[in-house]
Amino acid sequence: MTERVDNSRYIRESLATLTGHVRVRVLNCSADGCLLEATGPLAIGTVGNLRVSFSGREFEDTIQIVRCNPVEPTKGTHHLAGKFLSTSPPYAGTFRYVMRCDLGDLAGWLDTQSDQSHA
């Protein structure tokens, strides 16, 4: 860890990282970001890695929390709006990629499941 303090004699830099895990549920997603549900609030501006399991695979992208709204105050449930921060195009292994490429497969799977439940 380094610290930065401006002084006429020296400059000291401070940099630290705090990590934690927050379980979320993906409610909605687009090419720009996603709406998440969490059991507690996160500060606006928080940056983190969103790791999602989908179709037996794990995908990851960096997001920044841009909105946090309480939904059920008695349960502590919050909706979090996350914006994707990546500067690279979606590639295999990113959540943005699976949202763009595998949605057709997911839609077919959902239709099949729906048809079976009505039979």
Full set of structural domains in the chain with CATH: 26-113 (2.40.10)
Q: Which residues of the chain have pLDDT under 70?
A: 1-18, 91, 99-119
pLDDT at 38: 94
Q: Which of 94, 101, 87 is nearest to 50 (CA)?
A: 94
pLDDT at 22: 87
pTM exceeds 0.85 for this model: no
pLDDT at 113: 41
pLDDT at 80: 96
Beta-carbon-side half-sphere exposure of residue 29 (alpha carbons within 13 Å): 17
- What does the pLDDT look like over 78-89, one tens digit per residue? 999 999 997 777
pLDDT at 91: 67
Q: Which residues contact 27 (CB under 8 A, 6 or more apart)?
A: 34, 35, 36, 37, 79
CA distance linking residue 75 with residue 108, whole number of Å: 34
Torsions phi, psi for 13 (to 5 deg): -105, 145
Cα distances (Å, whole numbers) of residue 31 to 34, 54, 111: 8, 17, 23
CA distance linking residue 89 with residue 29, whole number of Å: 16
CA distance linking residue 8 with residue 106, whole number of Å: 61
